[in-house]
């Protein structure tokens, strides 16, 4: 059974956030009628939280897959569950910050975040398929442990 290495996980998390932020900031400013600078701050703080969450969540998710399935292969249903669980965790972490920074109610921040989550659900699904195809998990040589493969 093969798993992603630490450097690969770092590349994944950073690429996901940088590309997502480049798409999100101008689009969100337009959609939510907010200054680009405000949406940029929301985006950068959210991306920082999300990058940390992405790394930790994907590490735990892959370990869970290995424990219950014996490998990290993902079906479409597992990819959907992965994206929904990841974004659900972000909603819980980010709503209070968005409401405070933009001076809006928690309800308004939730509605804004639901729209943002909609974007990131689709983005995460497409990005992860593309990433797995461009950077496949290396096949582990027989006799090597996961620790020696790093």
Q: What is the mean pLDDT of residues 83-95?
A: 90
With CA atoms as reference, report the closest residue to 90 among 16, 4, 27.
16
- Quickly list DSSP for 15-43: HHHHHHHHHHHHHHHHHHT--HHHHHHHH
pTM here is 0.64
Q: Which residues contact 109 (CB under 8 A, 6 or more apart)?
A: 95, 96, 98, 99, 102
pLDDT of residue 50: 82
Mean pLDDT of the chain: 88
Residue 138 DSSP symbol: P
Q: What is the mean pLDDT of residues 9-25?
A: 90
| Confidence at 26, pLDDT banded by 50, 70, 90 | very high
| Confidence at 131, pLDDT banded by 50, 70, 90 | very high
């Amino acid at each position: 059974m093969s798993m992603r290495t630490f450097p690969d996980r770092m590349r994944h998390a950073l690429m996901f956030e940088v590309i997502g932020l480049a798409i999100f900031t101008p689009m969100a400013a337009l959609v939510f009628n907010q200054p680009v600078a405000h949406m940029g701050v929301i985006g950068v703080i959210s991306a920082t939280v999300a990058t940390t969450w992405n790394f930790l969540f994907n590490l735990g998710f892959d370990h869970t897959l290995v424990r219950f399935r014996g490998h990290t292969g993902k079906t479409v249903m597992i990819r959907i569950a992965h994206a929904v669980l990841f974004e659900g965790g972000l909603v819980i972490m980010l709503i209070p910050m968005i409401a405070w920074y933009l001076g809006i109610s928690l309800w308004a921040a939730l509605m804004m975040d639901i729209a943002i989550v909609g974007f990131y659900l689709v983005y995460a699904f497409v990005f992860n398929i593309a990433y797995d195809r461009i950077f496949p998990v290396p096949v582990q040589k027989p006799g090597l442990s996961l620790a020696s493969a790093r």
